[in-house]
């Protein structure tokens, strides 16, 4: 992280960005210069002490139509979705509709016997040992997979990677199944539960767990990949319709409301937030800049964060709660991963003692 701090320090030299009037915004603009112009772009949000000190779009949300990215542009969040899936389960636990130590097969009894020891806690913390559905899906499928299709793919395979709770292995399968459990426990469906219990109460009216033919995405950013030096639309894959592990679309404006709700009990109780933000893993993650995993959040020192990567989109959210600092970068392109850029943006603000903790 010293390199990122050095980049930030250089950008803060006297006179940097003076023509823009706001040196800090100019420094962020410099870090985001590759996203500017007639290319797939990004939206950047910096929240400090509850204020949106940076709120800006770069580049294009739709290359073919020339539509620019704005703070209202909705990007597919990919795995940033997992924090919402986890929150839905925690809300249902608060309601008494389920327990975190419930066996998985209590809710999804068609899973094979090998899944008997798996609990909801194991799913939330990526310690279930469930096999990845991408490993067992057919090479060619008709249409797109849904969360229920993930269950059907797992049902014939009576095996786990390891005994639940003994190891950490990031699992999209786990979060697809959690979406089904939200539906079972709530008597609604995953998308409807999120809308009624999270999005609307928080004023995130334009955020949606997108279902083609059922819902729409306002101000939609479309995904692109660099192919032979040209940007080509690559917005959907066979797994893009699986909701629980990555199907939410949102904007930096709506994510500002989500971030605010993570500081108090307007959505989740103190106890539920403590569970989400605390280490729930007992073995190394094997991932860079990840000390442990909570419920829907990666943990590193004082940093809570998560990335989201899918065809045509690369996103990241970094939170430093003690400093009340949050950085969000949403991009509609396959490269680069924005984690390093988001860290460099965070380093523009005075760091608390825990930010660079190992």
Active site residues: 79
Q: By C-alpha distance, which of 343, 353, 284 is closest to 317?
A: 343
CA–CA distance, 82 with 246 (Å, rounded to integer): 7
- The set of residues, in sequence order, having a beta carbon less than 8 Å from that of 106 and lying 6+ positions away, is none
CB burial readout 254-276, b (16+ within 10 A) else e? bbbbbbbbbeeeebbeeebbebb
Six-digit token string for 234: 């690559």
Helix (H/G/I), strand (E/B), else coil: 211: coil
Partner residues linked to 45 by β-bridges: 55, 328
Do residues 161 and 129 make contact, with C-beta atoms less than 8 angstroms apart?
Answer: yes
Describe the chain by its helix, strand, coil percentages, rounded to 5: 35, 20, 45
């Amino acid at each position: 992280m010293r390199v990122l701090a050095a980049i930030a320090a250089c950008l803060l030299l006297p006179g940097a960005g003076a023509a823009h009037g706001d040196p800090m915004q100019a420094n962020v603009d410099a870090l985001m210069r590759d996203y500017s112009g007639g290319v797939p772009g990004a939206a950047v949000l910096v929240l400090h002490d509850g204020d949106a000190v940076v709120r800006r779009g770069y580049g294009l949300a739709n290359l073919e139509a020339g539509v620019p990215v704005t703070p209202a542009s909705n990007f597919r969040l990919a795995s940033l979705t997992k924090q919402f899936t986890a929150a839905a389960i925690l809300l249902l636990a608060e309601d008494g509709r389920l327990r975190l130590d419930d066996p998985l097969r209590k809710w999804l009894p068609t899973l094979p016997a090998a899944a008997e020891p798996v609990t909801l806690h194991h799913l939330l913390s990526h310690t279930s040992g469930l096999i990845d559905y991408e490993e067992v899906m057919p090479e060619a499928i008709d249409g797109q997979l849904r969360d229920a299709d993930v269950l059907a793919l797992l049902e014939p395979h009576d095996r786990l990677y390891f005994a639940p709770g003994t190891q950490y292995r990031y699992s999209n399968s786990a979060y697809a199944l959690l979406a089904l459990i939200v539906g079972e426990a709530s008597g609604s469906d995953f998308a409807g539960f999120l809308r009624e219990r999270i999005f609307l109460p928080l004023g995130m009216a334009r955020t949606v767990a997108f279902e083609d033919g059922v819902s729409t995405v306002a101000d939609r950013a479309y995904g692109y990949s660099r192919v032979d030096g040209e940007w080509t639309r690559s917005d959907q894959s066979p797994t893009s319709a699986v909701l629980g592990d990555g199907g939410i679309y949102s904007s930096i404006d709506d994510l500002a409301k989500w971030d605010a709700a993570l500081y108090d009990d307007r959505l989740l109780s103190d106890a539920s937030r403590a569970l989400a933000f605390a280490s729930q893993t007992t073995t190394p993650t094997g991932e860079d800049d990840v000390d442990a995993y909570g419920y829907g959040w990666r943990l590193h020192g004082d940093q809570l964060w998560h990335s989201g990567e899918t065809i045509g989109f690369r996103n990241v959210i970094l939170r430093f709660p003690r400093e009340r600092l949050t950085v969000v970068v949403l991009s509609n392109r396959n490269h680069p991963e924005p984690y390093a850029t988001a860290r460099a943006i965070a380093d523009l603000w005075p760091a608390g003692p825990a930010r660079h903790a190992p």
